[in-house]
């Protein structure tokens, strides 16, 4: 009877153990991870349908001579379009949600460590303003016809704003000295009749060239995303789903989903399952919060680690991105003339106008806790020049319950600051020589004076250069699932990707030196102890024999 | 090494399930130890990811087995073998730290009724009711870290749980070392080990001993 009970116990226990071991393997039979399956369901069969053909529109048959004339035609049907657009940051260049007096935004006092600030440099910078004629701070932001519909909606690919034309295309063929290219006036009728939903090319015309050139500002946005393959971006790949930007940056009344300065892209994380009208701006919107196959601890990461941290192992994987910009070296001349030096990766390593550059390709991001909000200095904020000044930095920490570890490109450099007032300075870079522009005179003193004057800021007249850094969240260039950051690139004792993030325990990286020391000491002690004991017994047997 | 003074007799001490759970737990401790120390970053063998998967699966499996062991201990009455006693405890300590070197006789012969000496009872009991449950609780908490908030355990701290689990791991490692060594202290080096495999232990035949001493 007893033996029978034992046998049953043994068989039962064995069966349970086998089951426990095999269950995860059996569960693994579904080939697609749940998150992929959800996303596929959410996106499959998307066919756009359109009820209007702009080629046939009467309003677009007239002879156009300028952008604003086209806009007026657009508004004859789309009566609310400009008014909607006026409310967005694409128009105001100011954070619509922050205190107006603080002036957060390009048109305000926000800074970066590329061309620093737009004020006094408008005609050059506003070639990326979706409007016409933003040539200085007196621009009329109430004008409906000055909205540039075409730059975002035209589909011929021939519409180009002149790089220093305050948002206007060239009126007649004109060479831009900066790149020696000739800019032609657009064929407005063709362009206007081609309009449709914005594509990667529309958005990319500005956003791939942030910071003044291809891939300068963002490591995850550059011209390689015009026609990417799946290896570069698994969603946008033209050999795959061929996502356009607007597939994720969903839009309501011309207000496009995405982070704006301190305002996160989305209030809280949720998927389309929880809210079918939620913006699709997060990975989770389609992939859910438990996207991985059930086995392992992968899904247990999603509340603390953003998808991007693992799924964008490196940024700037095709085109290089700027990693260092030292303004203090600007102004050197060769034979009395400005010059440029081509460096590694085929990119300039020096330019008299701008200083010294370093570029990076296949760069591993830096990681910070991030709650979706990016803080930044304005030209009024006091800095400590004794240390590297953070021009922008991610908000959040390990303990606030909503931050996650997120990858960033960190752009470093040196830029001018006021030695007395301890503020970062806005240089007047672009303009005619007579205006005191740096690119005309190579005179910092003058350019900084003019910049401060224009922006209405205090300036002591004493300046120097300080090292700064600025952060850019890395969220595009999502790699296919076989190209991800491996567990041990973070879960490792030394030099892991998260080596600098403290305040939390991470297996494989963190140890208690005391426990480990005492633990191993005890192990050595135990081994020594039993060895000595064994030796004692051997001697004992020889001496006393065994009874 | 045959014993010349005392006749030995074979007794069936360890039943099939008892031997099974002993060796199963031995394997669990070894594998959990290896994979655990790999996760901790002390060694490299199976790979971090593989170690985590094995460690989690093994841990849960042991938990299931442990329930069966407890069930077995109570239904068979074997739990009585683990009731702690101080009787002869001192003479046991004296034997292992002195007498054993001088070839003295073990002060506590095994029998079917009393399988463990007082030192063993204390050790095994504290391991079964303290150390293993401690590792299971800390391990399960570690595993379910993401659910703490939902379970109202938000006050817990992962660093603390991880350190405790680590202390438990070192304790089990220490037990393992001493335990394996102690198996060599039988009447021959492999006597205890063999007994745990076959179930049959050779113990001094008290009748012949009594006959001799009288």
Residue A264, pLDDT above cutoff 80: yes
CB contact under 8 A, A24 and B105: no
Most distant CA atoms of chain B, gap in Å: 71
pLDDT score for B171 = 97
Residue B1, pLDDT above cutoff 50: no
pLDDT score for B211 = 45
| CA distance between the termini of chain A | 41
Best of A509, A533, A544 to mutate (most B CBs within 10 Å, chain B): A533
CA distances from B118 to A408, B14, B21, B75, B186 (A): 62, 18, 21, 23, 16
CB-based contact A384:A407 (threshold 8 Å): no
CB-based contact A59:A71 (threshold 8 Å): no
Residue B157, pLDDT above cutoff 70: yes
pLDDT digits (tens, 9 = 90+) for A449-458: 999 999 999 9
**Nearest CA distance, B68 vs chain A (angstrom):** 7
pLDDT score for B214 = 40
Residue B29 and residue A123: Cα distance in Å, rounded? Answer: 72
**A318 SS3 class:** coil
The percent of residues in chain B predicted with pLDDT above 90, rounded, is 61
pLDDT score for A376 = 96
Residue A13 vs residue A163, higher pLDDT: A163
Q: In angstroms, what is the C-alpha Rg of chain A? A: 30
pLDDT digits (tens, 9 = 90+) for A176-217: 988 899 999 999 999 999 999 999 999 999 999 999 999 999
The percent of residues in chain A predicted with pLDDT above 90, rounded, is 83
Q: Where are the domains of chain A?
A: 51-148+156-194
Residue B148, pLDDT above cutoff 50: yes
Q: What is the CATH number of the domain that holds B151?
A: 1.20.950.20
**Nearest CA distance, A522 vs chain B (angstrom):** 7
pLDDT, average across residues A128-143: 96
Query: Which helix (H) or strand (E) covers residue B16, if one does?
Result: helix B16-40
pLDDT digits (tens, 9 = 90+) for A394-403: 999 999 988 9
CB-based contact A222:A214 (threshold 8 Å): yes
pLDDT, average across residues A72-97: 96
pLDDT score for A48 = 75
Residue B180, pLDDT above cutoff 60: yes
**Nearest CA distance, A403 vs chain B (angstrom):** 14
Angle among Cα A46, A49, A50 to the nearest 5 degrees reads 150
pLDDT score for B6 = 63
CB-based contact A360:A410 (threshold 8 Å): no
pLDDT score for A8 = 61
pLDDT bucket at B207, cuts 50 / 70 / 90: low
Residue B203 vs residue A103, higher pLDDT: A103
**Nearest CA distance, B18 vs chain A (angstrom):** 9
Helix axes B48-76, B16-40, angle to 10 degrees: 150
CA distances from A386 to A390, A465, B98, B148 (A): 12, 11, 68, 43
Residue B4 and residue B15: Cα distance in Å, rounded? Answer: 29
Residue B31 and residue B102: Cα distance in Å, rounded? Answer: 37
Report the relative pairing of strands A463-473 and A392-394 from DSSP bridges: unpaired
CB contact under 8 A, A537 and B178: no
Which residues of chain A does B55 touch, with a Cβ-Cβ cutoff of 8 Å?
A: none
pLDDT score for B117 = 87
Q: Which residue among B24, B60, B177 places its CB closest to the CB of A527?
A: B177
Q: Which residue among B56, B65, B178 places its CB closest to the CB of A13?
A: B65
Q: Which domain holds residue B53?
A: 8-213
pLDDT digits (tens, 9 = 90+) for A15-37: 666 666 555 555 555 578 888 88
Q: Which residue on chain B is closest to A298 by alpha carbon?
A: B49
The percent of residues in chain A predicted with pLDDT above 70, rounded, is 94
Residue A321, pLDDT above cutoff 70: yes
CB contact under 8 A, A16 and B64: yes
Residue A354 tokens, joined: 């701008």
Q: What is the 3-state secondary structure (H, E, C) of B106-146?
A: CCCCCCCCCCCCHHHHHHHHHHHHHHHHHHHHHHHHHHCHH
CB contact under 8 A, A12 and B53: no
Residue B158 tokens, joined: 């992962």
CB-based contact B101:A536 (threshold 8 Å): yes
Q: Which residue among B3, B57, B177 places its CB closest to the CB of A21?
A: B57
Best of B6, B17, B199 to mutate (most A CBs within 10 Å, chain A): B17
**How many residue pairs bridge chain A and chain B with CB atoms within 8 Å of each other?**
135
Residue B148 tokens, joined: 């703490």
pLDDT score for B107 = 82
Residue A333 and residue A441: Cα distance in Å, rounded? Answer: 12
Residue B79, pLDDT above cutoff 70: yes
CB contact under 8 A, A515 and B166: yes
Query: Which helix (H) or strand (E) covers residue A3, if one does?
Result: helix A2-27
pLDDT score for A20 = 60
pLDDT score for A425 = 97
pLDDT digits (tens, 9 = 90+) for A519-536: 999 999 999 999 999 999
Which residues of chain A does B75 touch, with a Cβ-Cβ cutoff of 8 Å?
A: 5
Q: Which residue on chain A is closest to B103 by alpha carbon?
A: A546
pLDDT score for B91 = 87
Residue A254 backbone zone (phi > 0: left; psi -120 to 50: alpha; other: beta): left
pLDDT score for A544 = 81
Which residues of chain A does B1 touch, with a Cβ-Cβ cutoff of 8 Å?
A: 546
Residue B3, pLDDT above cutoff 60: no
Residue B51 and residue B34: Cα distance in Å, rounded? Answer: 8
**Nearest CA distance, A507 vs chain B (angstrom):** 6
pLDDT digits (tens, 9 = 90+) for A431-490: 999 999 999 999 999 999 999 999 999 999 999 999 999 999 999 999 999 999 999 999
Domain contains B165: yes
By C-alpha distance, which of A316, A121, A128 is closest to A205? A128
Residue A321 and residue A476: Cα distance in Å, rounded? Answer: 14
pLDDT score for A131 = 97
Q: Which residue among A12, A296, A492 places its CB closest to the CB of B41?
A: A492
Residue A276, pLDDT above cutoff 90: no
Domain contains B3: no
Residue A45 tokens, joined: 């069969």
pLDDT bucket at A6, cuts 50 / 70 / 90: low
pLDDT bucket at A308, cuts 50 / 70 / 90: very high
φ/ψ (deg, to 5) at A334? -115, 125
CB under 8 Å to A7, separation ≥6 — which residues? Answer: B16
CB contact under 8 A, B184 and A534: yes
Domain contains B142: yes
pLDDT bucket at A429, cuts 50 / 70 / 90: very high
Domain count, chain B: 1
By C-alpha distance, which of A282, A286, A287 is closest to A264? A282
CB-based contact A300:B149 (threshold 8 Å): no
pLDDT score for B2 = 42
pLDDT score for B113 = 80
pLDDT digits (tens, 9 = 90+) for B121-136: 999 999 999 999 999 9
The percent of residues in chain B predicted with pLDDT above 70, rounded, is 93
φ/ψ (deg, to 5) at A532? -60, -45
């Amino acid at each position: 009877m007893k033996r029978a009970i034992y046998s049953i116990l043994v068989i039962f226990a064995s069966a349970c153990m086998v089951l426990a071991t095999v269950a995860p393997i059996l569960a693994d039979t579904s080939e697609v991870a749940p998150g992929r399956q959800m996303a596929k369901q959410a996106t499959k069969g998307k066919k756009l349908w359109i009820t209007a053909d702009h080629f046939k529109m009467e309003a677009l048959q007239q002879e156009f001579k300028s952008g604003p004339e086209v806009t007026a035609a657009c508004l004859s049907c789309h009566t609310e379009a400009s008014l909607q657009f006026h409310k967005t940051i694409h128009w105001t260049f100011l954070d619509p949600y922050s205190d107006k007096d603080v002036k957060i935004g390009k048109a305000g006092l926000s800074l970066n460590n590329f061309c620093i600030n737009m004020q006094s440099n408008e005609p050059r910078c506003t070639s990326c303003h979706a409007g016409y004629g933003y040539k200085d701070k007196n621009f009329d932001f109430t004008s409906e016809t000055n909205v540039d519909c075409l730059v975002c909606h035209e589909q011929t690919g021939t519409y180009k704003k002149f790089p220093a034309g305050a948002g206007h295309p060239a009126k007649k063929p004109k060479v831009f000295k900066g790149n020696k290219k000739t800019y032609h006036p657009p064929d407005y009728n063709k362009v206007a009749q081609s309009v449709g939903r914005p594509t990667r090319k529309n958005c990319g015309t500005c956003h791939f060239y942030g910071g003044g050139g291809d891939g300068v500002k963002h490591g995850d946005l550059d011209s390689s995303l015009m026609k990417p393959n799946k290896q570069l971006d698994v969603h946008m790949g033209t050999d795959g789903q061929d996502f356009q930007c607007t597939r994720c940056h969903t839009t309501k009344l011309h207000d496009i989903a995405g982070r704006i300065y301190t305002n996160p892209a989305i209030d809280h994380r949720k998927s389309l399952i929880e809210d079918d009208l939620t913006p699709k701006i997060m990975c989770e919107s389609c992939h859910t919060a438990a996207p991985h196959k059930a086995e392992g601890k992968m899904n247990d990461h999603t509340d603390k680690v953003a998808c991007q941290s693992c799924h964008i192992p490196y940024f700037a994987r095709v085109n290089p991105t700027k990693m260092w910009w030292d303004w203090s070296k600007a102004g050197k001349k060769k034979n009395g003339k400005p010059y440029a030096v081509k460096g590694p990766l085929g990119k300039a390593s020096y330019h008299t106008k701008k200083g010294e550059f370093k570029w990076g390709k296949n760069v591993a991001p830096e990681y910070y806790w991030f709650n979706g909000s990016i803080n930044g200095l304005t030209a009024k904020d006091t800095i400590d020049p004794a240390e590297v000044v953070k021009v922008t930095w991610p908000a959040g920490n390990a303990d606030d319950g909503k931050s996650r570890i997120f990858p960033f490109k960190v752009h470093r450099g040196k830029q001018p600051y006021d030695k007395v007032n301890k503020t970062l300075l806005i240089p007047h870079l672009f303009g005619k020589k007579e205006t005191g522009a740096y690119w005309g005179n190579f005179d910092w003193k003058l350019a900084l004076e003019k910049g401060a004057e224009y922006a209405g800021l205090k300036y002591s007249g004493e300046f120097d250069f300080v090292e700064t850094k600025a952060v850019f969240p890395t969220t595009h260039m999502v790699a296919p699932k076989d190209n991800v950051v491996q567990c041990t690139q973070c879960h490792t004792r030394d030099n892991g990707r998260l080596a600098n993030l403290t305040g939390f325990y991470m297996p494989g990286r963190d140890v208690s030196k005391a426990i480990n020391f005492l633990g191993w000491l005890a192990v050595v002690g135990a081994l020594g102890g039993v060895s000595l004991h064994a030796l004692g017994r051997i001697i004992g047997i020889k001496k006393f024999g065994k009874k | 090494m045959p014993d010349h003074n005392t006749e030995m007799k074979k007794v069936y001490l360890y039943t099939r399930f008892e031997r099974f759970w002993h060796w199963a737990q031995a394997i669990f401790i070894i594998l959990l130890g290896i994979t655990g120390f790999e996760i901790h970053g002390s060694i490299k063998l199976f790979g971090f990811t593989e170690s985590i998967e094995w460690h989690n699966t093994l841990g849960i499996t042991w938990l299931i087995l442990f329930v069966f062991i407890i069930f077995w201990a109570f239904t068979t009455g074997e739990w009585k073998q683990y009731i702690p006693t101080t009787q002869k405890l001192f003479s046991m300590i004296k034997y292992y730290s002195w007498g054993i070197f001088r070839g003295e006789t073990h002060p506590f012969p095994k029998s079917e009724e009393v399988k463990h000496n007082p030192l063993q009872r204390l050790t095994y009991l504290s391991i079964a009711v303290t150390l293993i449950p401690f590792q299971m609780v800390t391990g399960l908490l570690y595993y379910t870290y993401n659910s703490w908030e939902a379970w109202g355990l938000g006050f817990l701290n992962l660093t603390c749980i991880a350190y405790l689990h680590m202390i438990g791991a070192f304790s089990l490692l220490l037990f393992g070392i001493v335990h394996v060594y102690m198996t060599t202290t039988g009447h021959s080096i492999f006597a205890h080990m063999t007994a745990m495999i076959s179930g049959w232990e050779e113990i001094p035949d008290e009748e012949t001993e009594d006959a001799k001493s009288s």
